[in-house]
Structure 1
Amino acid sequence: MKARFAKKREKRRANLEAAKCFADEIITLNSAHSRVVLSDVCSSSSIIDWDSLPRGLDPCAEDHTKLTKPGRGIRKRQQIESIVSHVLHVLENKTLLAGDMENGIETIVDFGAGTGHVGLILAWILGAKARIFCVDMVEKCKMGRKRLDAVNDELGAMLALNQNLGEQHQLLENVSFFDGGIECFELPEMTLGVSLHSCGHLTDLSLRFCLEHKAAFCFVPCCYGQLQHATTSLYTCDQASNMAKFADFDVVQSKKVKERTHGDMGDDSEAICPFVRNISMANPAFLNAKRCMIGIDLRRLRYHLDDIEDKFSLEYSLHVSSLHPLCCSPKNNVVMGWR
């Protein structure tokens, strides 16, 4: 019995080492060609005054969201703040490169939008400068519309009491929810696609959608481990499949560390981020997962961009950054591109 488990542990260590080496090869190759910039472009993310927002926009508002476990709402705030900072960075650079858009209105699609955590905040911040389309499954969109109605009811009550409120306190009439998968969604034109924690292959589908619409993008991928079961040539080779497996931090963590972490955190050991205390570049286990995440994202960018650029002669400025603080989520890569 002990010998069998020893063989399993040895095989796991060998697979992890192979995944790290493959990721390092991809990162080194990228550095040699300077194709994708690896840098933290938005290390400061405190741009949202949550106290001034309608409660329906705040993930810490228990009456409007399901993020009721201790610490989860705060981490969702941090995730939203950071991805919004990155989105604004992309919009600024895209506009500088491409000039003003027609009518000056951004068309932004939030893929895998859930109940609209990111889309509604962008609608609030950008106001009349943007139209936001939130795309997800039927049940999520129902919850999102209910949340949007609650926000507009609150804003309506505020406006009834004070007609002199600023432009940002106007009703959110620039948001639409679309029921269904990305393959059913149609839009004649768009300027930017965004997604916070798009699971597995959804990041690839969203990236492809943006490239085919010649749009900018800002994605935080999630569920890298799902990619080891994908059927596209990008992930079917053993090296890529192995790297996808070890890009999931919960796979890289040892069993003893998992048990100790769960025991320390008690009731806060939620499924979405059970190892939050260990998410640090000083932790070798997280560093290994981070390298594999970067390897996967560099590879998917090169795969999709090479194909699209050959067809449409497009050139993108590409960046891989990180959510801040890192501990807001173990899946903290930010993949960005603009023309």
Structure 2
Amino acid sequence: MNGTETMKDPESPKILEEDCIFLIGKKKENVVDVTADSLVALFTLECCRNPALNVVLVEREDNSATESGDNKSDNEVWFPVNVKTLSFPLFCIDEDKCPDMIKSCLLPAVLTSSKPWCVAGLCASLRFMLRKTVEVFPGHFCQKFLGFRGGCLQACAEVSVWTKFCEIESIRALKDFSNIYCKNSKTLVFPKDILRFEHHLQHPPILHNALKRKQYLIKKNVADKVQQQELCAKKLSELPELDHEFAEGLDMTLADIMLFGSFHILLTVLKKHVILNDVCPLVVRWYGLISCNEYVKNALPVLGKLITMNSFCDTDMNTLEVIIPVVPSESLYKSDPERYKPRWRSYTHQHDIERVLKLLDEAGVNPEYDSHPSDDLNISWSSYPLAFSPQAGQMPAKRLERKCQQLENIISAVRQVARDGDIIVDFCAGGGHVGIVLAYCLPNCKILFVENSEASLIRAYERIECLGIHNVHFFQSNLDYFQGYFNVGVCLHACGVATDLVLQKCINQKAAFVCCPCCYGGVQTNHILEYPRSQLFCSLSLSVEDYLILGHAADQTHDESNPKTKQGQKCMQLIDTDRLALAQSFGYSTKLILMEPRTCSPKNHLLIGIQKD
């Protein structure tokens, strides 16, 4: 079925009674103008044929995209798609008529019909689409695109170099290239991300089942049975390295389709100006391999309208100078040891820690703890249903008592700042330990679970169902993709940068926060955050490396008998003082307190903040 269908009344049509993926764009006769994310999503949907969910285009009133590709009326780049190239119907809806959960997310996003569950982000939405299609059409070919054990692009972009490349950087490369190329500049810098992908393909793939794959290839390619047995008996490290055929190794996955959606346009234009085989031969080989795939060939017309745009055809090939930048020769896997230099691999040399602590001490940064906001920290766990307790969330018995104590601290602090009718977000909700207790104890509040892991959210949902709780909504989403309104933000042991992402979300919404940080050594500057966080710490000429030393030392909190613990606690105080100083600069009244008893966790800090009246 080709073409678009305009959804005039989004409340009544059956379209919203089924699972829907929402994309950004605007319909103009037989053409839709879409964002780069939506373009890649449409191409992927077309590759998979018959996607088992409805595709809804969200039209923005201020969207006046033009075919030039460089309209910036809302700081976005727009790409045309001929609707007739789509094999599925495309429904349109005004942004203000979108369901509330979709309004709370950056798009692309999926809204399920069977429960209050939203999946946000390009990778997560497309993964959901693949799984749903296989569920509805068992044996569907797109099952293989999910990769080994369904793990393709499962990790979130904040922690995965690879997901960040596929979901953010390759998309940004397409937008940046379109912006620059369409201005008819005399010079053009060859996209760095294509060269990064070239280096990635030069490195051996990192596979969970590498030994089995090598043994399979030996049996396939070695005719002599004795030689087969000898080779198959060898250890993994004794066998030759595998070569990248596809983006993630030996099999075509969702990552290949997404990258092809961006790189097809770049390479088609660039080959007019440079000999691609001289610049990125492995990318050219990869591109040729993907181009031959029957599903990709069938979906190529989705990208065809853009290639024929005047802005991409008019540039004078003879006058454009292409500059080839230098990029590090490393793979795009975080676990690749070549990504790390030896001098960066240890931050816990005692002389370095003492130097940073001395710098802060001489600057007069000597934080102290505030008193706990509640005298009543006891919850009568036995008086509640089993699903209420973390015992129902697959919590090991030896950790159960301490987890209950942590929850008592969090819940008591939230009760001090929350009011009836508030929307409370449990960030990094996991299996729902915090959010379930909040939802049960605060029935007049709405609790939103935000968590990247589908498996964890499913466990939380099952417990909610057992308790018959109806004031909970689920967002399977990276922190960055949740954009909804809320009054109180909560997180328990949000690792590394996650705590700072939560605090930034709360500051942006002027919401109260109750946060318990974890994994201080995991803080690192990324595409969203920079460190140090506050102007106070930035004014001390504290380098990023100094800050990482402080963070890694803060993780040396073992037990009271360990000589490093006191120092580690001090470093925790300093990192969290920086975090709270940032909040104070935005008008917050803050507290840094210790959970009680202190032994409930080595990471026993609570950061509490309320906007001043």
Instruction: Report the TM-score, using the length of structure 2 for normalisation.
Output: 0.39
Give the Cα separation in 1 of the matches to 2:461 and 2:479: 18
Residue in 1 that maps onto 2:513? 217
CA 1:22–1:244: 2 relative to 1, 3 Å: farther
Per-residue CA shift, 1:234-255, capped at 9, x if unaligned? Answer: 14522211100100026xxxxx
Aligned residue number for residue 5 of structure 2:
none
Q: Distance in 1 between matches of 2:503 and 2:547?
A: 19
Q: 1:36-115 counterparts in 2 under 5 A?
A: 38-42=369-373, 44=375, 46-59=377-390, 61=391, 64-68=392-396, 70-91=397-418, 104-115=420-431
Q: Which residue of the partner structure matches residue 135 of structure 1?
A: 450
Counterpart selection for 2:358 from 14, 21, 34: 21
Q: Secondary structure at the match of 1:234?
A: coil
- Write the letter of the residue equivalent to 2:421: I
Look up the equivalent residue of 1:326 and give its one-letter code.
Answer: R
Change (3 A) 1:25 1:230: farther
Per-residue deviation, 1:211: 0.7
Deviation string, structure 1 residues 1-22 (Cα, Å, up to 9, x no partner): xxxxxxxx9x822123224334
Q: Which residue of 2 aligns with 1:147?
A: 463
1:304 positional shift:
5.3
* Matching residue of 1:100: none
Q: Distance in 2 between matches of 1:79 and 1:45?
A: 13
Q: 1:25 to 1:117 in 2, by over 3 A?
A: farther
Secondary structure of 2:431's partner? coil
Give per-residue Cα distances to partners, 1:200-247, cap 9 Å, x unaligned: 101111111111111100100011011157674414522211100100
One-letter amino acid of the structure 1 residue matched with residue 603 of structure 2: K
Residues 493 and 516, structure 2, Cα contact 8 Å, conserved in 1:
yes
2:567 paired residue number:
288
Q: Which runs of 5+ in 1 are unaligned?
A: 1-8, 32-36, 96-103, 153-171, 251-274, 310-314
1:240 paired with 2:547, answer yes
Aligned to 1:300: 579
Tell which structure's C-alpha radius of gyration is larger: 2
Q: 1:240 to 1:145 in 2, by over 3 A?
A: same
Q: Per the alignment, do residues 317 and 303 of structure 1 end up closer, same or farther by CA in structure 2, a change over 3 Å counting?
A: closer
Render the CA deviation track for 1:36-88: whole Å, top value 9, x for unaligned: x73132475533110111101112x3xx22212x4201111011011111212
Residue of 497, 500, 519 corresponding to 1:204: 500
**Hey, what does 1:319 align to over in structure 2?**
591
Which secondary structure does the structure 2 equivalent of 1:334 belong to?
strand
Contact 2:356 2:546 in 1 (8 A): yes
1:90 deviates by 3.0
Cα distance 1:338–1:25, how it changes in 2: closer, same or farther (>3 A)? farther
* Counterparts in 2 of 1:182 and 1:233: CA distance versus 1, 3 Å: closer
Equivalent-residue separation in structure 1 for 2:492 and 2:360 (angstroms): 23
| Structure 2 equivalent of residue 34 of structure 1 | none
Change beyond 3 A, Cα 1:332–1:23: farther
TM-score (norm 1): 0.68
Unaligned residue ranges in structure 2 (runs of 5+)? 1-345, 533-542
Is 328-337 or 15-24 further displaced after alignment?
15-24
1:178 alignment partner, one of 468, 472, 475: 475
Which structure dedicates a bigger proportion of its chain to helix?
1
Equivalents in 1 of 2:478, 2:388: separation in Å? 24
2:201 counterpart residue number = none
Runs of 4+ in 1 over 6 A off after TM superposition: none
- How far, CA to CA, are the matches of 1:19 and 1:326 in structure 2? 26
Q: Which residue of 2 aligns with 1:4?
A: none
2:434 to 108, 118, 126: 118
How many residues get paired?
Answer: 254
Cα displacement string for residues 137-175 of structure 1 (whole angstroms, at most 9, x for unaligned residues)? 1222112111211222xxxxxxxxxxxxxxxxxxx2111
- 1:285, distance to aligned residue in structure 2 (A): 2.3
- Amino acid across the alignment from 2:432: G
Aligned to 2:239: none
Query: Which secondary structure does the structure 2 equivalent of 1:249 belong to?
Result: coil
Q: Give 3-state SS (helix, strand or coil) of 1:337's partner.
A: strand
- Taking only aligned residues, the RMSD between alpha carbons, in angstroms, comes to 2.6
1:112–1:200 distance in 2 versus 1, CA, 3 Å: same
Sort the Cα spacing of 1:220 and 1:23 in 2 relative to 1 into closer, same or farther, 3 A: farther
Structure 1 position 338 matched with structure 2 position 610: yes
Structure possessing the higher relative contact order (Cα contacts under 8 Å, 6 or more residues apart): 1
CA distance in 2, matches of 1:179, 1:117: 16
Change (3 A) 1:290 1:23: farther
Sequence identity percentage: 32
CA separation in 2, counterparts of 1:24 and 1:200? 24
Compared CA separation, residues 228 and 210, structure 1 to 2 (3 A): closer
Judging changes above 3 Å, is the alpha-carbon distance between structure 1 residues 46 and 143 closer, same or farther for their aligned structure 2 residues?
same
User: Closer, same or farther in 2 for the Cα pair 1:50/1:202, shift >3 Å?
Assistant: same
Matched to 2:442, the amino acid is L
- 2:417 and 2:455 map into 1 onto residues whose CA distance is 30
Stretch of structure 1 that moved more, 294-303 or 214-223: 294-303
